[in-house]
Amino acid sequence: MKKSASVFVAGHTGLVGSAILRKLHSTGHTNIITRTHSELDLVDQRQVRSFFNEHRPEYVFLAAARVGGILENQRYPAEFLYQNLMIASNVIHQSYVSGVRKLLYLGSSCIYPRLSEQPMREEFLLTGELEPTNEPYAISKIAGIKLCDSYRRQYGCDFVSAMPSNIYGPHDNFDYESSHVLAALIRKVHQAVTLGSPSVRVWGTGTPRREFLHSDDLAEALLLLMEVYSDLGPINIGSGTDLSIKDLAEAIGRVIGFDGEYEFDISKPDGAPRKLLDISRIRELGWHPRISLEDGIKSTYSWFLNHSSEL
């Protein structure tokens, strides 16, 4: 990717897209194209077609998606399936039509079977049943991988798919209900400290294990993939280690300075028991995560404090 190449970052206001944008800026890219949701609705085929006809980007990072935590996935299965299928279909097809040189599609570790052997290798895709709490989202993401693979096979398009673990960082969604766990617990623990509450309510049993990667580490991996990787199927990106939700809550409590209790609300779903990615393939390409979970929680908490009035 030349520094002057035109690069479209779809989803640039989100957690992952904003990290890609920061990385492109910091590495000297000068021709970055972005559109907000109100300027370009990626679910709308006509809008996507005319955008690609007009701008003809050379490179596309497809980080736009309808996303949310475990409850949001359960509440809006129709939108999670429909909107993500449409976004993937529209952007990938128009990238083919307009002759995009390379496209990088973002999925999620929930594409792998619920009770997959751990850590999960790329070839475990479609070898077992999916986790029910996010099956519609996972199916849309698997469809996106298959779109990339099919356009590569049939038309020789250089479209690749990356599957990150649970991502966190600046510009995450900190809403109590719709967010993912790390951002939700930062907000809940902060509120408990601010109000002097004796306890924080954590959803589920606290026993599920999750792997967390900072969005800036992810963005570094994605730019590397854009440069050096061209293959069928997904490639995993994660930190290589996981921890239980209880341990995560305690780690957040230590950073924020909370010394109360954690109550586990077992009326809320646990989701997949574990989803640790095997990251050997991306490591072989020369990437490794740099930001420790503790440092990542600290910097994300300070971002939250600086932006809490806007959230």
For the annotated catalytic residues, the residue numbers are 137
Neighbouring C-beta atoms of residue 195, cutoff 10 Å: 7
Structure tokens at 125: 């895709």
CA distance 150 to 253: 46
The SS3 assignment for 83 reads: helix
Residue number, 247 or 270, with CB nearest to ligand GFB:
270
State in angstroms the smallest separation of the CB of 248 from ligand GFB. 8
Residue 208 sits in the site that holds ligand GFB (CB under 6 A): yes
Residues 82-101 that bind ligand GFB (CB under 6 A): none
Q: How far is the CB of 101 from ligand GFB (least distance, A)?
A: 29
x-or-dash string of contact with ligand GFB, 4-33, rule CB under 6 A: ------------------------------
Beta carbons within 8 Å of 307's beta carbon, 6+ residues apart: none
144 touches 84 (CB < 8 A): yes
Min dist. Cβ of residue 160 to ligand GFB (A) = 19
CA distances to 225, 255, 292, 299, 307 from 295, rounded to whole Å, are: 25, 9, 5, 6, 18
Choose, by CB under 6 A, the member of 108, 116, 215, 236 that binds ligand GFB: 108
Amino acid letter, 149 = D
Q: Residue count at the site for ligand GFB (CB under 6 A)? A: 24
270 binds ligand GFB (CB under 6 A): yes
How far, in whole angstroms, is CA 18 from its chain's centroid? 11
What's the CA gap between 39 and 34, in Å, rounded? Answer: 9
Nearest CB to ligand GFB, comparing residues 57 and 164:
164
Q: Which residues bind ligand GFB (CB under 6 A)?
A: 69-70, 73, 108, 110, 133-134, 137, 166, 179-181, 184-185, 202-204, 208, 210, 245, 268-271
